Structures are given as structure tokens and as C-alpha cells.
Chain A
Amino acid sequence: MTRRTSIAIALALVFSALMPLSAHDDYRVIGVVTKVQTSKLDVKSKDGKNHSIKLNKDTFVNRDKKKMGVSGLKAGQSVVVDATGDSESDLLALEVRIVPPVK
């Protein structure tokens, strides 16, 4: 293997490692909680889609900006979820707001 080829492969590996860091997009899911687990929240949005969204220790669950914790989430609550991910099927919740129901 020539030196030039080695450098090209090394650069390709570096770029491929960095790619996922910059690929995340922002998503907002507005809907009703259907199921809550410690690390996952299921929400049915107003267009009828079911979203399964990951939760972690940094997810800020709140009502009127008061911290609630995941234990404050219950099925049937209206929520606004701001999440990040590569697609609608791979989302991590950054913030979950419990809000009054949509009229």
C-alpha cells in the first residue's frame, strides 16, 4: 500500500467518524402520550402517527417550565416534544413540555 493510499484511507475514516455528529436534525412532535417507560416515550401526534422517542437523563420534562421528571409523564397527557435525530424513527427527546390539550 502506498503512502498516498494510506493517507486517503485515514482521511476517509476520520470524515466517516465525524459525519454522524453533524447529521442530526431538530424535530417537534405535538400529540398525546400513549405510553411512558423510563427511557422511552410513545406519543400519538395529531396527524395520527405514532412516535417512539428516547428519553435520557438530560431530557427536560416540565410543565410551565417547572421541572417534573419522567415520573410526571402519564398516558393521556398532551405534550410538545422537541427532539433531535436522524429521522422520525430515531429521536432523542431534549425537552418534553406537558401542555393544556389542543382545542
Chain B
Amino acid sequence: MTPQLPTPEPPSKRKLAVTTAVALAVAGVLLVTIVLPAEYGLDPLHTGAALGLTAMSTPAAAKAVEAPAGATMFKPVQDGPIGYYSAGYKVDSTVLKLGPYEYLEYKYRLEKDASMMFSWTASAAVSHDFHGDPGSGKGAEQSYDKKDRQASSGTLIAPFAGMHGWFWENPSGETITITLNSAGFYSSAMESRSDRTRRAHELTAPMAPPAASGTK
């Protein structure tokens, strides 16, 4: 024969209502003082600020990316797929007239591993040699692309420090116009012509982006 356990008396309806009300009140207080400031940044009672919870609701402040040690304005330091420089790139846009049977070279000074992107078009096909010159004398030049072309677009990562650019020759008896646009981490640009004239071209910083709306 098993003993009969006493069945506890159920709480009265009043007691249940009071307990529920107290639990709801505690939950409400926790919601307003802790959860809302921490999760959503809502802090009506300033308890989040006092407890240091509001910082949890804001995204981590963006840290300024600093160039790794060794990076300069023109020489990158590689970090995975990214090459970091200590300053911004330059842009260049120029129109070059090439008289009948004349040639010219247009080159940028790039440090090893520095990059640039380019697009050029000519009004007619030209003899063309995209090459680099480390400046260590004749025969040291390295050709990257040598064929007749009327246009070309691409990117270059300099395989060595030196002057990198194009030899263009007009094979015809009529004047040809070449339009070149580029952007890159180059330090200078030099134009050399078959009549032995040389001219440095000024490089510029890219246009500043328009101010974001709402900022002063």
C-alpha cells in the first residue's frame, strides 16, 4: 500500500495575477534598462550609458587603414591580394599627334610591383611596343606587347623599377592622333619623340568625389 502524497493547494487567482504582474514588471524594467540600450541603442532612462551598454549597439568604429611599414607613395607593400601605398594614385590624360612616319615613346616611372591601368586609342593602326626600361643601358628593355594595334586597355604591375610605357610609330603618310588615359602609382611621365624632343607631362590627383548629401 503506497502512502498518499498531499496535493498542494493551487494558488489563488489573485496570487497568480500578482506574480504575473511582478514578472512582467521585472521583464519590462530589464527590457528598458538593459536590452534596448544594448541591442538597439534606445536608452530612454540613460541606464545604458551609465552601464556602458550603448557601445554594444553601435558598429565598431572604422579604424583608419594605415599603410604597412615599408609602403611609400609609389612602392607598395603587398598584403594578400592588396598592394598598399602610403598615398593616393595619380591620373593622366593626354592627346598625342603623330606626324607621318614619326614615332614617340610615352613612359611612366614605376617602382617594382607598382600598378597602373590604361586605355589608349589611335585614329589609325600604329606600330606599337608596350615595354619597360630599367635604365641600365641598351638591350635591357623588356617588351610586354609588340604588335600593330589601334587601341589597347589593360593593367600593368611593373616587373622592375624603371620607365614603363609605349613606343608608337606612325607607319603611314598621314597624321595619327593617339588618346591615352591612365591611372596609377607612378611618379612621372616622359614623352620622347623621333625628332629628339623630350617633354615631361604633369600628373594630377584624381578628382575629389562630390560631398555626400547632408554633410557640410
Contacts and interface: CB of A to CB of B under 8 A. Distances in A.
Where chain B touches its partner, the secondary structure class is loop
- Chain A contact residues (Cβ within 8 angstroms of B): what range? 10 to 19
A9 B172 CA distance: 53
A78 B100 CA distance: 11
A102 B173 contact: yes
B40 interface: no
B147 interface: no
Contacts of A78: 173
A80 B173 CA distance: 11
B186 to A, nearest CB: 25
B174 interface: yes
Given A80-B101, A99-B173, A103-B100, 15 more contacts: A25-B196, A27-B196, A28-B101, A28-B102, A28-B103, A28-B195, A30-B99, A30-B100, A30-B101, A30-B194, A46-B99, A100-B172, A101-B173, A102-B101, A103-B174
A30 B101 CA distance: 7
A28 B194 contact: yes
A68 to B, nearest CB: 17
A62 to B, nearest CB: 14
A1 to B, nearest CB: 36
Contacts, number: 26
26 contacts: A25-B196, A27-B196, A28-B101, A28-B102, A28-B103, A28-B194, A28-B195, A30-B99, A30-B100, A30-B101, A30-B102, A30-B194, A46-B99, A78-B173, A80-B101, A99-B101, A99-B173, A100-B172, A100-B173, A101-B173, A102-B100, A102-B101, A102-B173, A103-B100, A103-B173, A103-B174
B103 to A, nearest CB: 7
A28 B100 CA distance: 12
Contacts of B103: 28
Interface of B: 99-103, 172-174, 194-196
Interface string A1-37: 0000000000000000000000001011010000000
Interface in A78-103: 78, 80, 99-103
Contacts of A30: 99-102, 194
Nearest to A25: B196
Contacts of B102: 28, 30
A26 to B, nearest CB: 9
A80 B103 CA distance: 11
Contacts of A101: 173
Contacts of B172: 100
Contacts of B196: 25, 27
B147 to A, nearest CB: 16
